[in-house]
Structure 1
Amino acid sequence: MPKQYLARLNLSLAMILVGSSVVAGRIMVEELPVYLASALRFALALAILLPMLNAREGGLPSLCRRTWLKLAVQSLCGSFLFTVFLLHGLTLTGPASAGIITSTTPACMGLIAWLFLRDRPSRRVLLGICLSVAGVLVINLVGTAGPGGANPVVGNLLVLAAVLFESLFLLIRKTVPEPLSPLAAATVISLFGLAWFLPMGVVEAARTDLAAISATGWLVIGYYGAFVTVLAYLFWFAGVTKVPPSTAGVFTAVMPVSALVLSALVLHEPVGWQQLTGCGCVLAGIVLISR
């Protein structure tokens, strides 16, 4: 498989897993506080990543101070702030409402890449972005009520902030000049993620009855750590360095499509012609940019 197509496959798989975090996060916040759940997630991820990195690459990479700082900021944006704002937002608004906001991720990434990375998208890429944004907007035009039938403005604003931080997280990797394998990048980001969440996680652990957490709650944490963190990071870092930022931005449109499908399967939300039309637009956008 050509490298460009393999990179696009990796980006798609990463966004499928990230999209599943909307559903998994909704289940998780019903049983565990945000910081404790996230600290456990990164602890599990590191239990998987560190032995793999040590066996394959001999340990953590040797990087300059500026690169460590960039990776720390990247983890702050994507591992910490994205998670905090998304999970808190999901306590106030439903997955469908969150999907409306996450549908702006391709446009947000394209704008940031254009303004700060000097990545001017071609007409074909721009059309792909427009199709993707249109598709995910159509997907979420119905069923936007939040918990209890409400649609709080605060919850939507929190998810919007999460989109901004996720866009920064996905693009900062492009600014790191030193060679860094996907495995090393995922491990370093997870180390910083645990550091960001650990202080408040310890505080919440002292206030939480861990025995009251159901088997489902622990399984969701395991899924978040092994799949949304380890696999999604590996897939994204393997693909993002091989394509322009504007191209990577298009593939973030897969995220709300994944959230839609899993919401229907797991949370039993209805799927109608609006959602199917939206999925078609997103797939058309991805095909267009992948040609």
Structure 2
Amino acid sequence: MPKQYLACVNLSLAMVLVGSSVVAGKIMVEELPVHLASALRFALALAILAPLVLVREGGLPRLSRRTWLKLATQSLCGSFLFTVFLLHGLTLTGPASAGVITSTTPACMGLIAWVFLKDRPHRRAVLGILLSVAGVLVLNLAGTDGPGGANPVFGNLLVLAAVVFESLFLLIRKTVPEPLSPLAASTVISGFGLLWFLPGGVVEAASTDLSAISATGWLVVGYYGAFVTVLAYLFWFAGITRVAPSTAGVFTAVMPVSALILSALVLNEPIGWQQLAGCGCVLGSIVLISR
């Protein structure tokens, strides 16, 4: 398989797994507090990745202080802030709505690249950004009596903030000049992820009855660590270095499709007209941006 096609497959698989995090996260936060669950997730991921990078690559490569700072910032945005805002948002809104909002990632990436990287988008990309914003507004202004949670408007805003941090996470990786294998990058990001969540996780562990957590809760934590973290990171870092940022952004459209389908299949989440209309606007924006 040509390397370019393989990169596309890797990016698609990564976004399928990230999309499943919306469903897995909804289940996980019902039994475990956010910081504790996330600390356990990254501890498991690091337990898997550290021996692999040691055996296959002899350990982590030597990196400059600036690169370490960039990787720490990348992990802060994508591992910590994205997770905190997404999981807290899922306690207030429905996973289907959250899945639609996460599909604004391509537009958000384009906007951030425009403002901070001076990558001015074309007219079609601007229209795509506006259409993406319209999709989010449909979800928030359609009313709170549809499929959702206790406070869907605020929950949707938290998920939207998570999208911003995820976009920064995806863009920062392209600014690292030194060669870094997908395995090494995944290990470093997971290590920083554990570092960010450990203090809050320790505090929450002291007030959590771990014996009351069901087998399903532990299985979801295991899935989050092994699949959403390890495999998703490996797939994404294997593909992101071989395509342009704009191309990678288009593949994030796979994420909301995965989230919506799994929300209906696993959680029996009803898909209302708000989700369909919002998803239509967002997918239209992706078509405009990708063209």
Give the 5 Å matches for 1:162-177.
162-177=162-177
Q: Which amino acid aligns with 1:154?
A: F
Which segment is superposed worse, 12-21 or 269-278? 269-278
Distance in 2 between residues matched to 1:219 and 1:229, nearest whole Å: 14
Is the Cα–Cα contact under 8 Å of residues 182 and 238 in structure 1 kept in the other structure?
A: yes
Which segment is superposed worse, 126-135 or 39-48? 126-135
Specify the alignment match of 2:110 in structure 1. Answer: 110
Deviation per residue, 1:127-170 (Å, 9 max, x gap): 98899999999999999757876444321221111111010001
Distance in 2 between residues matched to 1:40 and 1:68, nearest whole Å: 23
Sort the Cα spacing of 1:8 and 1:126 in 2 relative to 1 into closer, same or farther, 3 A: farther
Q: Which amino acid aligns with 1:264?
A: A
Distance in 2 between residues matched to 1:164 and 1:86, nearest whole Å: 11
Distance in 2 between residues matched to 1:9 and 1:103, nearest whole Å: 18
Sort the Cα spacing of 1:152 and 1:281 in 2 relative to 1 into closer, same or farther, 3 A: closer
Q: CA deviation at 1:195?
A: 0.3
Q: Which amino acid aligns with 1:80?
A: F
Q: Which amino acid aligns with 1:194?
A: L
Distance in 1 between residues matched to 2:73 and 2:265, nearest whole Å: 35
Number of aligned positions between the proteins: 291
Distance in 2 between residues matched to 1:40 and 1:57, nearest whole Å: 25
Specify the alignment match of 1:86 in structure 2. Answer: 86
Is the Cα–Cα contact under 8 Å of residues 96 and 260 in structure 1 kept in the other structure?
A: yes
Sort the Cα spacing of 1:251 and 1:140 in 2 relative to 1 into closer, same or farther, 3 A: farther
Specify the alignment match of 2:217 in structure 1. Answer: 217
Deviation per residue, 1:95-146 (Å, 9 max, x gap): 1221232121110011122333344557888898899999999999999757
Sort the Cα spacing of 1:104 and 1:278 in 2 relative to 1 into closer, same or farther, 3 A: closer
- Name segments (4+ residues, structure 1) moved above 6 Å: 122-144, 272-291
Distance in 1 between residues matched to 2:148 and 2:128, nearest whole Å: 36
Q: Secondary structure at the match of 2:59?
A: coil
The alignment's TM-score, normalised by the length of structure 1, stands at 0.87
Sort the Cα spacing of 1:285 and 1:165 in 2 relative to 1 into closer, same or farther, 3 A: closer
Which segment is superposed worse, 12-21 or 279-288? 279-288
Sort the Cα spacing of 1:143 and 1:2 in 2 relative to 1 into closer, same or farther, 3 A: farther
Percent identical across equivalent pairs?
A: 86
Q: Which runs of 5+ in 2 are unaligned?
A: none
The alignment's TM-score, normalised by the length of structure 2, stands at 0.87
Q: Secondary structure at the match of 1:93?
A: coil
Is the Cα–Cα contact under 8 Å of residues 39 and 201 in structure 1 kept in the other structure?
A: yes
